[in-house]
Amino acid sequence: MAPNHFVYNILISAYAQEETVGEVMHIFTKMRQEGLNPDVANYGAVINLLSSIGRMDDAMSQYNQMITEGLLPGIIVFTPLISGFCSCGKWEKVPELFSEMLDRGICPNTVFFNTIMDRLCKNGRVMEAQDLFDLMVHMGVKPDVCTYNTLIGGYLFVGKMDEVRKLLDNMVSIGLKPDVITYSILIDGYSKNGRIDDALVFSREMLAGKVKPCVITFNIMIGALLKCGRKAETKDLFDGIWANGLVPDVITYSLMIQKLIEEGSLQESDDLFLSMEKNGCVADSHMLNAIVRSLLRKGEVPRAGTYLSKIDERVFTLEASTCFRGERPRI
């Protein structure tokens, strides 16, 4: 049986996930050679790939080609195109393509709005993201938890805390409940804005509201508390990971161990490292390099040598920042 559009789309999508542009374009060419012209889904997959890696000229070339062939682009084409131009900072193309999309009678959906708002917020263009949110509501497209998470994260990024509270209240008023991602964003954002106590309030609210936290949430809070030197609360949070049926990961242990080294609690840091590996959490290259750097800063050369040996044993790479003036530390 000869491959059809559906089969080719699976192939294109598979190679697109690996970002192998050459293979994708080869499949495109092969389709035509077999007398099968790409359809909107095929073009959408290719445009999505090209846009995701910043090749916007090539993405637009494919877009223009599909228009020439009489195909009508859908939301699966406009979403990656507009998102790609946002990521590349070519903002002048965004309103142009958005207007073209509306002129073609294509109604943006929640995923479209969320994607573009995310790009705007990550570039600090929060007010434009807010305008897009307002347009979304005006057009009758329902925002979801992801929509609010994106905008909340954007306002936290620029330090507009009052707007965050308004969004949270609005979110709850329309029947949406903050999820673990919402709380992780809030805890991280408030911590980075120097409001650790408020971050702790959200942490307690999350647990009281029966929203199951993830290890990432704990890591964010532990990192923030360690920076402030709040050791007792950090220990309580570390113990709370186990109490919530979770297991600390490499990042959790790395944060705790580096802080112990910084404080001079070297035996305690060694004991925690051994406990970590005994519990089945194996140190990765980044963690071991970080421990070596921390020990060298404290002048603990022999101890650093123990961890340097682990890097060698596990055939990990010695990071440039671990070396002294580009040379391997002399242990």
* Cα–Cα distance, 114 to 109 (Å, whole number): 9
| pLDDT tens-digit readout, 257-296 | 999 999 999 999 999 999 999 999 999 999 999 999 999 9
Q: Check pLDDT > 50 for residue 44.
A: yes
Measure Cα distances from 55 to 51, 61, 100, 119, 122 in Å. Answer: 6, 10, 21, 17, 20
Indicate whether 34 belongs to any domain. Answer: yes
Alpha carbon of residue 321 to chain centroid? 24
100 falls within a domain? yes
289 domain residue, yes or no: no
What's at 118, amino acid-wise?
A: D
Is 284 strand, coil or helix?
A: coil
Q: Give me the domain span that covers residue 10.
A: 1-106
CB-based contacts of 8, cutoff 8 Å, min separation 6: 27, 31, 36, 38, 42
**Weakest-pLDDT range from 35-39, 42-46, 303-307:** 35-39
Does residue 181 form part of some domain?
no
Q: Is residue 87 included in any domain, yes or no?
A: yes
Number of neighbours of residue 200 by Cβ within 10 angstroms:
19
Closest alpha carbon to 94 in 66, 71, 115: 115
Position 191 in a domain: no
207 located within any domain? no
93 — pLDDT class (breaks 50, 70, 90): very high
What CATH number does residue 95 fall under?
A: 1.25.40.10
- CA 129/CA 135 separation, integer angstroms: 10
Query: Is residue 227 domain-resident?
Result: no
Half-sphere exposure of 243 (CA within 13 A, CB side): 8
Summarised one tens digit per residue, pLDDT across range 157-203 is: 999 999 999 999 999 999 999 999 999 999 999 999 999 999 999 98
Cα–Cα distance measured from residue 22 to residue 5, given in angstroms and rounded to the nearest whole number: 19
Count how many domains the chain has.
Answer: 1
